Amino acid sequence: MALSLLSTRGYRLHGLTIVKFVFVLTDAMSTNIQATKGAAGRLRREATVVAIGIGREVLHSELQTSASPSDANSLSYVYSVENFDALNGLIGRLIDATCEKCGVSHMTDIFVIIDDVSESAMTQQELSAALNGLTYIAHYLPAYGQVNGQTVNITTIGDLGYRHTSIHNATDLDSLLMSIQSIRQQQSLCYINECDKALAINISSGMIQIIPISDQNSDNRNNSRKILIVFSSGRFVDKALVKLELHDELGESNIDIFAIGPGYDTDMEGLHALVKEPYNVFSLLDNNLETFDVLKSKLLYVVCS
């Protein structure tokens, strides 16, 4: 039907190039994935397709295959319904496409939490998948060491407390990759200077300690975007308690929180307890790292003056 509308209602103005956009609002849970993929391919030949995920269970990989690839107008054409700031940036860029008023911003403060609490700790295989995903994200970030570039901090939360496994605000890719490669599941003892005095009882109490730090403006980066990415199995003993404990903190925080479960045994209900928005939950299956491409509009974003 969308193709029919494009062909019958398309028009040309003398001397102007008309660009067509199609906004697709979907939960991306097709009953016939191959048919949807084929229809999306045909639609992309006629227009730029913007895919917007809606609902509690969104299949991000299908959004990615439905949307048009990134171009000079946008770093990503995949959005969640709460990404109105990203959509505003896209709209501003399209309206003023001939001017240089817009540009890519790398000014993002990224905080990563690895859940190693005993009740919900990832298996070795799941942890390996999580670290592969984190490595993929690290390779995508381009602005290391720049004043207005991104910053990255990684913390492992376990029964013994917090282990900061990356250098503070990693300034180059090699240093960050070494930090990621050094992450191990915590042992039964806390080594000197590796763990804080406070003990984490569960993932929510650990996150409550990290979120205010993430929310604070550091190094006068008042305009930086704040992102918190939590890798967890979601297998909490009491998911309702986790959600209740995080309720006030999530409501007061301006940080964007994403929960990622690396594997088929991930408890999605548990991951939903960690976030404000249901579409910020991702499942990393079969090591499909392209799932993280959906985060592009958050990690790097277009801003217009």
- The C-alpha angle with vertex 248 and arms to 244 and 250, in degrees rounded to 5, equals 95
- The C-alpha angle with vertex 227 and arms to 222 and 232, in degrees rounded to 5, equals 155
Res 98: pLDDT? 43
Spatial distance between the Cα atoms of 151 and 145, rounded to a whole number of angstroms: 8
Give the contacts of 84 (CB within 8 A, at least 6 positions apart): none
Res 286: pLDDT? 79
Res 232: pLDDT? 95
Residue-wise pLDDT tens digits, 42-98:
888 888 888 887 766 677 778 888 888 877 666 677 776 655 555 555 555 555 544
Give the contacts of 172 (CB within 8 A, at least 6 positions apart): 144, 145
Res 84: pLDDT? 52
* 83 close to 60: Cβ distance less than 8 angstroms: no
Q: Which domains does the chain have, with CATH numbers?
A: 2-100 (3.40.50.410), 108-304 (3.40.50.410)
Res 215: pLDDT? 67
Q: Supply 167's token pair.
A: 């250098």
Length of the chain: 305
Spatial distance between the Cα atoms of 178 and 40, rounded to a whole number of angstroms: 40
Spatial distance between the Cα atoms of 175 and 282, rounded to a whole number of angstroms: 26
Strand pairing of 108-116 and 225-231?
A: parallel
The closest alpha carbon to 214, from 119, 291, 111, belongs to 111
Spatial distance between the Cα atoms of 126 and 266, rounded to a whole number of angstroms: 9
Per-residue pLDDT in tens (0 to 9) along the chain, 305 residues: 344 444 434 444 445 556 678 888 777 777 787 888 888 888 888 888 888 877 666 777 788 888 888 776 666 777 766 555 555 555 555 555 445 556 778 888 898 999 988 888 899 999 999 999 999 999 888 888 888 888 888 888 887 776 766 555 567 898 889 889 888 887 545 554 555 554 556 788 888 888 877 666 555 677 788 899 999 999 998 899 888 888 888 877 888 899 999 988 999 999 999 998 877 888 888 777 877 777 777 787 767 66
